[in-house]
Amino acid sequence: MSNFVSVIFCLNCGSRYVEIKGPTADNRMIAYCRTCHSEAEIGRFTLGRCCVSNTELQKARDARGLKNKPER
């Protein structure tokens, strides 16, 4: 059985090493890229972790939203 999940990638460098920092003083979370150190506030969302195969991870990468082409 397989389950659908969403994977978060860094839009700046494409890294999958995205962490959540926070909450901030006003209870917002910060997405932080461990690879290029980009960060951005993402209120109302957080992350969970699990292991996926490289094949599945590549599928997520291929389906990821980019500028002018958001993933739905």
C-alpha span between 61 and 55 (Å, rounded): 10
The distance of closest approach from Cβ of residue 53 to Zn ion in the complex, given in angstroms and rounded to an integer, is: 22
10 touches Zn ion (CB under 5 A): yes
The binding track of 22-51 with respect to Zn ion, each residue x by CB under 5 A or -, is -----------x-xx-x-------------
Q: Please report the sign of the dihedral spanned by the C-alpha atoms of residue 41, residue 61, residue 15, residue 19.
A: positive
* Residue 68 and residue 42 in contact, taking contact as beta carbons nearer than 8 Å: no
Binding site for Zn ion (CB under 5 A): 10, 12-13, 15, 33, 35-36, 38
